[in-house]
Amino acid sequence: MQRSHSPSVRRRRLSVQLRRYREQQGLTAAKAGAALGWPQQKISKIESGEQKRLPPDELDLLLDLYEVVDAGEREALQECARLAKERGWWSKYRNAFPGGLPDFEAEASVIKTFEGQVVPGLLQTPEYAAEVFRAYRIRQDEEIERLVEARMQRQAILNKVDPPYLTAVIDEAALRRRVGGPDVMATQLRHLKHTASRHNIDIYVLPFAAGAHAATTGSFMILDFPDPMDASLGYVETPTSSLYIEDEGELREFNSMMGRAQSAALSPAGSLSLIDKVIESLEE
pLDDT 10s digit of each residue in the chain, 284 long? 444 567 778 888 888 899 999 999 999 999 999 999 999 899 998 988 888 789 999 999 999 999 999 998 899 888 888 877 776 666 777 677 767 888 889 889 999 999 999 999 999 999 999 999 998 777 888 989 999 999 999 999 999 889 999 999 999 999 999 999 999 999 999 999 999 999 999 999 999 999 999 888 889 999 999 988 888 999 998 777 788 998 899 999 999 999 999 999 999 999 999 999 999 999 87
pLDDT computed for residue 1 by the predictor: 40
Q: How far apart are CA 122 and CA 145, in angstroms?
A: 17
pLDDT computed for residue 4 by the predictor: 54
pLDDT computed for residue 3 by the predictor: 46
pTM, two decimals, is: 0.81
CA 220 → CA 3, 87, 168, 231, 255, distances in Å?
Answer: 25, 25, 10, 17, 10
List all residues 6 or more positions away from 92 whose beta carbon is below 8 Å from its beta carbon. none
Residue 138 CB neighbours (<10 A) = 6
